[in-house]
Structure 1
Amino acid sequence: MRAPDFWSGGSGGMAPLLLSPIASIYAAATARRVARSGWRAPVPVICCGNATAGGAGKTTVALDLGQRLSHRGVAAHFLTRGYGGKLKGPVRVDPAQHNSKAVGDEALLLAEIRPTWVAGDREAGGRAAVEAGAQALVMDDGLQNPGLEKDLSLLVIDGTYGFGNGHIIPAGPLREPVPNAAARCRAAVLIGKDEANSLSLLPPDLPVLRARLKPGPEAELLQGQPVFAFCGIANPRKFFATLQEAGAVLAGRVAYADHYPFDEGDLEELLGQAAALRAIPVTTRKDFVRIPAAFRSRVTVLSVALEWENTTQLEALLDPLVQRIPVPA
């Protein structure tokens, strides 16, 4: 789906007011759900969540944490709902067997670096991962899901979008009030500059870890080159800005709804537009896994990674969790 325009900060008019009764019901249902207790896994559980519907950078943060735990010798497994995929799980993702229609695009990205489980039932997914040898679970999303007790929850915030217009679904993008989400988190992760003044809505004692999206190694090949950018992510502006930061010249751009299922017709049209502009067709890694395989060799991917302002703060949050993991005899 594409988020309504009035969900953005500074937008709204009468729509949020008219939808506020439904929003109140939604908020109350969420509050009742998160109050339930979940399964206490025998391994640390880390949750990369947010307060809004749509992307905030949760998968990017989860990937970073998975790599950090791996570097510490921890056998971390990812756990995700598999949004956009038809499999409910629990199922371990096999990139050689599964595609985005089966498990969703985010699960495929996670599975590139660590074992990944798709499970609508987070408890069942967590149990399956532990039985398969997981020493830690990193959840991509799930802050509002009570199936698993979390040892460390991080509130991920997109600096450009923030919390939108500040209203609850469907009046706005919030899954729950910001203070409620923040109260269950040990820290917030702000990605990019705080353009939406999101930090002013957080509890003053909540630590804030700052990071930015750093273009991947492909950026060198795009410097000074005309590119035709297309994507189907929650915040396309972020992708276009990253391309410009990499030194690429945006000859054209197209934004689709988040998790858009590209078909052959879409790619023929997009590649035709790129050719007419004599530009390199470029997309995100997340979109690339949703492109029909026959077209992938003709599209360039610009990957991104997190660059933390202070990794010491982040590692300090992981230290007590890693120390709990038994050392193999």
Structure 2
Amino acid sequence: MLAPVAALYGRIAHSRMSKDPAYRSTLPVICVGNFTAGGGGKTPTPSPSATALKAAGRTPAFLTRGYGGAARGVVRVEGQAADEVGDEPLLLAEVAPTFVAADRVAGAKAIEASGADIIVMDDGFQNPSLAKDLSLIVVDAASGLGNRRVIPAGPLRAPLAGQLARADALAVIGEGNKAASLVEAFERAGKPVLKAKIAPDCDARWLGVLPVIGFAGIARPTKFFATLRGNGARLVDSQGFPDHHRFKEREAQRLLKAADEKSAMLVTTQKDWVRLPDDDPESAVTELKNRSRPFPIVVTFEDADRLAALLSDAATQRAKHSKRI
């Protein structure tokens, strides 16, 4: 029933992606994006890209839209709350300087003046305003591309063929075979395919001390709950919420009550934890933050050297191109 609407959306998205970039930055631009709307494992992937660039002697800065934040214009992330700049930028800022801008061109120009020598763009693959020197597409091996239909009939942000043509490399996150056909498509085109996994960014033994109530407002909460179980958590309850969810008082009260009744500890994602405000000691949401513990994760690539080479090559080729110009 949604096919006609999806066809119209797909034509508009394809037309938009086909436009020539409005601006080419003076710096190399690495885009970490995905073909689908949410749940592809993209959130933690820009960080290892920036880390690899730093290890190679580069000075990266993140450019992100800052979904869910109220900030306008270009904002450098420097201690703001999630309701101003969004949740993901707070995590990115722990790795490298981070700039929030809905206008990607304005954000790139701000980074050019900041002292950075390469831009890592978080999402924005389908956005044609800023030219990319490398587009690394992230896909979850357990979910792939879903039903391969375009929004709203499926998860694709634009028709697959057009997106494939503009992608440069693929990162497959986790275990599973749902991305097998996508891997084959990239390999047929001679484009690199990297494999990575999600691992705890801490000693996970604390998860087994008490029963656990997991809660998460991300695209696929069940994926987070499975990660908790896989790392030794005795999950006695799990509550999922929409992506970038702003927790309400009654929701916080319900979670706190469940933890008391079950003598359990509350565990959530880093994204959710940084989004919880802590400025009102009388608020149940603040209490939820104080009584919860985030479970940090990190994306680790099987061949980190190959990732570093891919990123460095893109930057080097851009430098050669700029000299010719």
Calculate the TM-score normalised by the size of structure 2.
Answer: 0.89
Contact 1:209 1:314 in 2 (8 A): yes
Q: Could you say what the CA RMSD is over the residues aligned between the two structures, in angstroms?
A: 1.7
> Alignment partner of 1:153: what SS?
strand
- Match of residue 81, structure 1, among 39, 60, 65: 65
What is the match of residue 122 of structure 2? Answer: 140
Partner of 2:71, secondary structure, is: coil
Q: Is the 8 A contact 2:40 2:140 kept in 1?
A: yes
The match for 1:23 is 6
CA–CA distance in structure 2, aligned partners of residues 267 and 26 of structure 1? 37
Letter in 2 for 1:300: R
Deviation at 1:322, TM superposition (A): 4.5
Instruction: Look up the match of 1:311.
Output: 304
**What one-letter code is carried by the residue in structure 2 that aligns with 1:63?**
S
Match of 1:14 in 2: none
Partner-residue secondary structure (3-state), 2:254: helix
- In structure 1, list runs of 5 or more residues that go unmatched: 1-17
Change in CA separation of 1:168 and 1:322 when aligned onto 2, cut-off 3 Å: closer
Secondary structure in 2 matching 1:314: helix
Distance in structure 1 (CA, Å) of the matches to 2:180 and 2:137: 11
CA contact 2:133–2:318 (8 Å) conserved in 1 = no
In the aligned structure 1, how far is the partner of 2:144 from the partner of 2:292?
31
Q: Could you tell me how far 1:258 is from its partner in structure 2?
A: 0.7
Number of the residue aligned with 1:71: 55
1:35 and 1:88 map into 2 onto residues whose CA distance is: 27
What amino acid sits opposite 1:191 in the alignment?
Answer: I
Equivalent residue letter for 2:301: W
Please name the residue that 1:130 is paired with: 112
State how 1:176-191 maps to structure 2 within 5 Å: 176-191=158-173
Q: Deviations over 1:91-122 (max 9, x none)?
A: 11122xx2221111111111122111111111
Identity %: 43
Alpha-carbon deviation of 1:72? 2.3
Q: Deviations over 1:228-258 (max 9, x none)?
A: 1000000112111111121111111100011
Deviations 1:172-224 (A, max 9, x none): 111112232222122111111234x2221451333221111001215121135
1:198 correspondence with 2:179 = yes
1:290 matched to 2:275:
yes
Aligned-partner residue type, residue 88 of structure 1: R
Alignment of 1:211-250 (within 5 A): 211-223=196-208, 225-250=210-235
Task: Tell me which residue corresponds to 2:152.
Answer: 170
Which whole-Å CA distance do the structure 2 matches of 1:245 and 1:210 have between them? 19
Alignment match of 1:119 (pick from 97, 101, 104): 101
Report the Cα distance in structure 2 between the residues aligned to 1:242 and 1:72, rounded to whole angstroms.
31
1:12 maps to none
Q: Distance in 1 between matches of 2:95 and 2:238?
A: 30
Residue identity opposite 2:222 in structure 1:
R
Residue 45 of structure 1 aligns with which residue? 29
How far the C-alpha of 1:313 sits from its partner, in A, is 2.2
Distance 1:325 1:143, change over 3 A: closer
Q: Is the 8 A contact 1:262 1:292 kept in 2?
A: no
- For residue 159 of structure 1, report the CA deviation from its aligned partner: 1.8
The SS at the match of 2:147 is coil
Quote the offset at 1:264 in angstroms: 3.4
Confirm whether residue 255 of structure 1 aligns to residue 236 of structure 2: no
Change (3 A) 1:322 1:35: closer
Following superposition, the deviation at residue 81 of structure 1 comes to 0.9
- Return the alpha-carbon distance in structure 2 between the equivalents of residues 151 and 224 of structure 1: 47
Secondary structure at the counterpart of residue 275 of structure 2: coil
SS at match of 1:79: strand
> How many Å separate the matches in 1 of 2:76 and 2:248?
26
CA distance in 1, matches of 2:91, 2:230: 23
Match of 1:67, SS? helix
CA distance in 2, matches of 1:152, 1:167: 25
Count, aligned residues: 306
Amino acid at match of 1:69: L
Distance between the aligned counterparts of 1:187 and 1:322, measured in 2? 15
- TM-score after normalising by structure 1: 0.88
Structure 1 residue 267: deviation in Å? 1.8
